[in-house]
Amino acid sequence: MRSSLAILSLWICFNIDVTTACPEPPKVDNAQVSPAFVKTSYKGGDRVEYSCDNGYVSLRKIVFVCTENKWTKIRDVECTLKRCEQPTDIPNGQYKIQGDGKSFVVGTTIKYTCNTGFQMMSRIDTRTCRHGGWDNTLPVCEEVTCALDLPSASRIKVEGLLDYGDLMRHGHRLQFSCEQGDILRGHKEIICQSNGNWNHPIPKCEEMACLLNNTEDMKVERNLNQKGLIKPGHRIKLSCLVPGLIIKGPKVLTCQADGEWSSPFPKCEEPTCVANLTNMIVEGGPDQGVVTYKPQDNLKVSCVHGLILQGENDITCLEDGEWSSPFPKCIVRNDCDPPPNLNHKNADTLDMLDQRKTEYKSAETVKYTCLATYKMEGDPHLTCVEGKWKGNFTCIEPCYASQPEMDKRNIQLKKSGIERMYCPHEDHLTFVCKSGKSQKRSSVEFRQQCRYGKMTLPECE
């Protein structure tokens, strides 16, 4: 009896509806199972609801139901980032989303900028979407203005000032000038920029004089009676205080009527000699272009082919940075060598060989004649131009018909008795068939013209 009861108990345990039990509820992005629905086990028909994580919301409840050992989602909803309301625009400015964001969700940051002519007056120019909405306050853009601060005793004249109380806004221009006898130090025109500052410092009017621009290693000498300001007409003499340095530039400068020096202020530098080696060949070195040399350096140069050297070919750099002789130049040779050799373009000069000169002056000409049977085309003269012969002519070769060639085609010259006949360019030859032969149907005409050394021969059969 007891064993029967035990067997009945086991049968009841194993026949409980385990087939409808479900595992733990599924994971849902950005959400957790609501506490009221958390259980240690779930059976068929059980229902769980989810709550979105902080910062996320869903349009409807997320619900799963246990059915046939698995969880089934009731509706297609999910937790998405909470959105903020449309950001507020500001007067005279606009905002732009920072980064790659396109919607106003939690974490999105926008940055405000001011329109042209206005400047940001708020310390913070960004707002970020938080759980409770946009943080920070709206920034403020105010119109840009520039202030003009002139000393009360200033003698400067200003054009472009507005009426009392009017503001000088972005883009406003002011022009400055001085009374006669004064000089303007600074820019004649300044413009109010978008940051509220002028694009240049406000200039000043000073008594007409030249400013010294010398360095600490330079000595300035002036006449004893020229004290105080260096006025127009005054002269100064410059020299270097450091041994081994020399003045690079004019040593004497004159103050001009406009308050500028007669030449840019020079500098004290180590002495060097400048060499422009364009078109030159340097003995013992591959130097090219503009090169500097030190005192005692020796330079030997020659010119590239076609140019001649004007000046000394052996010079030395001196202690004062000057060359021992004026630096030489490579110039174009104007004279010409004898004209081209015999048979130049199938032509020869009319000059006899013993009459040719070794050198021809610029603009001199020589006349050519074509070799026998060649025909001249163009001007037969060559002219000496900057050391080169210039001209353009052509001696055009003739055509000829040999006896073997005519025999091969069963033709002969209409005027017989000549075995090898030359025909100049553009002249004609007339052929006939040999006795007993007739013109081939595909043959060219019997009368042919020589064109640039070529002629098509007729054919008989």
| Candidate from 91-100, 175-184, 419-428 with smallest mean pLDDT | 419-428
Residue 46 token pair: 């059980």
**Report for 13-22, 29-38, 225-234, 413-422: range of highest mean pLDDT:** 29-38
Report in angstroms the alpha-carbon separations of 95 from 83, 100, 112, 144, 446.
17, 14, 4, 19, 93
> What whole-number distance in Å separates Cα of residue 334 and Cα of residue 322?
30
Instruction: Map out the domains of the chain with their CATH numbers.
Output: 20-81 (2.10.70.10), 93-143 (2.10.70.10), 145-207 (2.10.70.10), 218-269 (2.10.70.10), 273-332 (2.10.70.10), 347-396 (2.10.70), 399-449 (no CATH)
**Rounded mean pLDDT, 330-352:** 70
Asked if 168 and 190 touch (Cβ cutoff 8 Å), the reply is no
Residue range 22-57, pLDDT digits in tens: 999 999 999 999 999 999 999 999 999 999 998 888
How many C-alpha atoms does 282 have within 13 Å on its Cβ side?
A: 17
**Rounded mean pLDDT, 10-22:** 52
**Rounded mean pLDDT, 412-425:** 77
Residue range 92-101, pLDDT digits in tens: 999 999 988 7
> What whole-number distance in Å separates Cα of residue 8 and Cα of residue 334?
134
Asked if 31 and 52 touch (Cβ cutoff 8 Å), the reply is yes
> What whole-number distance in Å separates Cα of residue 115 and Cα of residue 89?
12
Dihedral, CA of residue 318, residue 320, residue 326 and residue 329, to nearest 10: 80
Stated as kind and residue range, the H or E segment containing 406 is helix 403-408
pLDDT band of residue 140 (cuts 50, 70, 90) is very high
Task: Give percent helix, percent strand, percent coil of the chain, each to the nearest 5.
Answer: 5, 40, 55
- Does pLDDT of 15 surpass 50? no
Asked if 247 and 264 touch (Cβ cutoff 8 Å), the reply is no
Angle at 286 between CA 283 and CA 290, to 5 degrees: 100
pLDDT value of position 19? 56
Closest CA to 304 of 285, 268, 329, 279: 279
> What whole-number distance in Å separates Cα of residue 363 and Cα of residue 388?
10
Asked if 176 and 198 touch (Cβ cutoff 8 Å), the reply is no
pLDDT value of position 8? 37
Please name the residue that has the structure tokens 């000073």.
Answer: 206
